[in-house]
Structure formats: C-alpha cells, structure tokens
Amino acid sequence: MKVLHVPYGSPMIDLCHALKKQGIDATACHFTSNHYQFEPDLCLNLENLSKHEREQKLSEFLNEAIAEYDIFHFHFGESFFPDKRDLETIKRAGKKMVMHHHGSDVRIFAVARKLNPHIRVKPEWTEKKIRQNLQVLSNYIDHAFIQDYELYPYIQPYYKEIHIIPHTLDISRIQPVYPEAKKVPLLVHAPTRRDLKGTEQIVKAVNQLQREGVPFQFQLIEGMTYEQTKEWLSKADIVIDQLRIGAYGYVSTEAMAYGKPVICYLRKDVSNKYPPGLPIVNADPGNIKKVLKDLLNSPNKWKDLGMQGRRYVEHTHSPEVVANQYINIYKKLF
C-alpha cells in the first residue's frame, strides 16, 4: 500500500512518519517550500516556476503519482489543481482518495457563531467558497478525516464517512522539561494568525498584569522556523494557545508533550468529547486575565499540569495509536 500526502503542512509530515513506522509506504509532498522550514519527503518548489511551468510540472507529477500510488490523501481541502479537475482523472484511474480537513478550510462562520460567540474565521475562506469546495470534493471523495468534533458540523452534510482521529506527534523526539516554581516564569504564545487566536486579548491581559506587578516574562513567537518555535516551547513555563477557535491544536499538543501547562479555549460540547485526562486550562477572551493570573500565582500546579499533559499526549497522539486508526480506514477503501 503506497500513500501520497499532498499539498502541504506539518500535520501530514508527522502522519507520514507515523505511518512509515507501521509499515505503510507514505510520502509527504509539499508543492511549495515554506518559511517554517518543515521537511517533507518531497518538495516540488513550484514557487520558482511560471504559471505555465507550474501547471506542466503538476500535470507530469500527477501522471507519475497515479502510476505509483494506491491512495491519494489530500489535506486542507486542496488537491493538485484549484479547479479540482485532477479528482476525475484519479477516480477514472481506479485510485482511492481521502480528504483531510484541518480547520479554516471548512469552518463556516454562519454555523460556527451559533456554537461559539468568540469565533473568528479567515476572510479568504468565505462561506460560498467553502460550501462550493466541499460539494466538489464530496462528489469524488467519500471519506473525510478531521482531528476533533469542532470541525464535524461543517462537513457532516457532505461526506458519506467522517473519521475523527487526533493528529499525531512523534513524542520520541520531544524531551519533556517540566516547569518548576520560580520568581519570574516564562509565558509563551505562538499565533499563526493573530485574529484567529485572540492574540490581541492575550497581549492586553499580559500588559495589564505586568503593570500590576505580576512577575513574568512574555515571548510572542512569530515569523520563526519550526525548530525555533520548539526551542521556545521547551523553555516555557506556561503556554497560551488560542482563545477563539474552541478546540486545541498543534501548539497545545506540542506544549503538552514538552510538559508545559497550557491555556486554551475549549468549547464545552467539544471538550466533553475529548479522551479523559486532558489537563488544558480553559480560558476565553473575557476571562483570560483572571485565568492567567490565577495560574501564574499557582506555581505548585505547573509541574503537575505538565506531567498530566505529557501523559495525555502519549496516550492520545502517539504515532502508533494514531497511525493504526488511519491504516484501518485505508484498508476499507479497497
């Protein structure tokens, strides 16, 4: 069984590593390079080509991939071409396809705001664009993957089969550094998009607490490589993920793997469906200052929360546990 993952993202790289450990021939292919310096198995570097050259290279690569791979595992609502014309070609060739949605590619604001008063969405992903994309994709693809129940309402009307599987993280590469009580702890926040993560409210709370004399350092992680981000997570005593989306993502998972207490907004209905033992400290834009102050003033809790988080990641996100769930679905495609 040979599986091709396209077109970008660190989640698919980690997933391919996990699948390989379980004996699946999986390839992570990025269509373009990225400033985070993620390291896929293959990168086409399309950004260096003209539009015509990009089309030609993608067409050639698609034909090669159809000859070589059994399953096409797409990510972020994308395929080889923006108009999705490749889906018909792949289907006619008798190959199997699955779609992996990760967040903004399906988060419909009209649906989200009924469930979450704090939600923000990427303006480039309009409701019309998302619905049209889901309609086209689900005409060719029956199976969709998501990492939690927060994304379920958006895609439920479209796909025949929806599989909720946590994202994976190779925890063997992450050595936990549990925080100890100290006079000036380090607080870290790593937003990919400030408006989506509630960064403005976090910075406001941080500034207010510092003016009130609460001792801590604050590091905003932006524009850094993946390795630099991990270094800061390793150094941190407390990590804040996001205050608006309603579910935890990669930053929370990596922070917990490093043994750090994590503050993140979890929608109650989503939180109830996570596996038991999730130690995330829940906060939203309205109470972040109080929640943060309480945690900063409770250094006796930091290490315990960190150890709980590490155990949770080992149990829920380990490559072996996650990869086998995907493999079981792959087998059902044939």
Instruction: Give percent helix, percent strand, percent coil of the chain, each to the nearest 5.
Output: 45, 15, 40
Residue spans per domain, the chain: 2-168+318-332, 172-316
Q: What global pTM score does this model have?
A: 0.92
Q: Where residue 30 falls among pLDDT bands split at 50, 70, 90? A: very high
Q: Quote the CA–CA distance of 178 and 260 in Å, as a whole number.
A: 6
Residue 167's pLDDT is 93
| Tens-digit pLDDT profile for residues 152-168 | 999 999 999 999 999 99
Q: Quote the CA–CA distance of 299 and 320 in Å, as a whole number.
A: 33
The answer to whether residues 98 and 79 touch, using CB atoms and an 8 Å cutoff, is: no
Q: Which CATH architecture is the domain 2-168+318-332 placed in?
A: 3-Layer(aba) Sandwich (3.40)
The one-letter code for the residue type at 15 is L
Radius of gyration of the chain from its Cα atoms, rounded to whole angstroms? 20
Which phi and psi angles does 29 have, rounded to 5°?
-120, 120
Q: Where residue 225 falls among pLDDT bands split at 50, 70, 90? A: confident
> Whose CA is closest to 95, among 120, 119, 63, 123?
63
CATH topology of domain 172-316: Rossmann fold (3.40.50)
- Is the fold of 2-168+318-332 the same as that of 172-316? yes
